[in-house]
Amino acid sequence: MATMLLLCSSCAEQCNIQGSSTIVSMDGKVMYLSKFTTDGPAGCVDSCEVIHGRFSFAPGLDTVMVVRLFTGNECIMPLVIEGGDLSISVDHSGGRISGGVLNDRLNKFLLRRRRLDNRLWELDKKGMRMMYEGRSPEEVEKSTGKQMKKLQREMARLETEFIRDNYDNPLGPGLFVWLFAQNPVPVMTPQIEEIVDGAPPVFLDNPEVSRYLRRAAAFRRLKLNVFPENM
């Protein structure tokens, strides 16, 4: 509780974000900070133009929250609006943020997740190359399937453990929405069930988490009524 009070009072002071980008094509574009909701981005928290590879935000908020940094329709990364001076760097491999207790924690998670994602991409590229060379789907599966499933399990474990470790602060519900609200429909996957199992009220009562779980339950009931023999 004391930690949360400290975080909230810190954010109430001021949040200053300085950013830089090495992507030349971003010059002149507008960057946005937007809240995460189960319905996608909702409400622009702050915006600025990229000028000579530099941009800055000064969102005047009195609460700690997870938002997304994006330009156009491209989501670059999630970040936390918290008190203090934050620094963002963006390049072709993605975005990194430093400054603030929660952002430092988030950045470590994003780096680990990006490494796993790159390894999955390399495996997928290997499979596509094998198919192009005339290999059968069975050969491709034998060569890449086992490692692909292992990396997918590692990814799910990383995400699950991060959310569970942050049940009691904005990172937990914020990353839950960022990861799962992208699903075409709200569903209760085994990973989500593991996250929810034993979760404290502070997490389950979060408005966005609660809304997603209600919609997932409603979708499951609808599916049971329409396709009872498949359930």
Name the band, by pLDDT with cuts 50, 70 and 90, for residue 150: very high
pLDDT at 118 over 50: yes
Q: Which residues are within 8 A (CB) of 131 and not within 5 positions of it... i.e. 6 or more apart?
A: 137, 140
Q: Which residues are within 8 A (CB) of 55 and not within 5 positions of it... i.e. 6 or more apart?
A: 19, 20, 21, 31, 48, 49
Model confidence pLDDT, tens digit, residues 36-50:
787 766 678 889 999
Structural domain of residue 37, as residue ranges? Answer: 9-99
Which of 50, 84, 99 is the last residue before a domain boundary?
99
220/191 same-domain check: yes
Name the band, by pLDDT with cuts 50, 70 and 90, for residue 132: very high
pLDDT at 226 over 70: no
- 71 found inside a domain: yes
216/117 same-domain check: yes
76/125 same-domain check: no
- Tell the residue number behind the tokens 């009872």, with chain if given: 228
- Find the mean pLDDT for residues 111-134: 94
185/210 same-domain check: yes
155/50 same-domain check: no
- Find the mean pLDDT for residues 131-153: 92
Evaluate whether 195 touches 164 at the Cβ level (below 8 Å).
Answer: yes
In which order are the strands placed within the sheet that holds 84-91?
Answer: 54-57, 15-21, 84-91, 94-98
pLDDT value of residue 203 = 97
118/167 same-domain check: yes
- Find the mean pLDDT for residues 66-91: 89
* Amino acid letter, residue 61: L
Q: What is the pTM of this model?
A: 0.84
Which of 65, 99, 133 is the last residue before a domain boundary?
99
Look up residue 61 and give its two tokens.
């908020």
72/117 same-domain check: no
216/108 same-domain check: yes
Name the band, by pLDDT with cuts 50, 70 and 90, for residue 196: very high
- Find the mean pLDDT for residues 124-131: 93
CA dihedral angle for residue 230, residue 149, residue 76, residue 83, rounded to 10 degrees = 100
Q: Is the pLDDT higher at 2 or at 85?
A: 85
Q: Assign residue 33 the CATH number of its domain.
A: 2.60.40
- Tell the residue number behind the tokens 């004391």, with chain if given: 2
175/221 same-domain check: yes
- 3 found inside a domain: no
118/212 same-domain check: yes
pLDDT at 212 over 90: yes
127/162 same-domain check: yes
Highest mean predicted confidence (pLDDT) among 37-41, 90-94, 168-172: 168-172
Which of 99, 131, 160 is the last residue before a domain boundary?
99
Domain count, the chain: 2
- 4 found inside a domain: no
94/116 same-domain check: no
> Which of 67-81, 165-179, 197-211, 215-229 bottoms out in mean pLDDT, i.e. has the lowest?
215-229
pLDDT at 185 over 60: yes
pLDDT value of residue 231 = 47
- 1 found inside a domain: no
- 2 found inside a domain: no
Q: Chain-wide mean pLDDT for the chain?
A: 86
pLDDT at 2 over 60: no
For 108, the enclosing helix (H) or strand (E) is helix 101-132
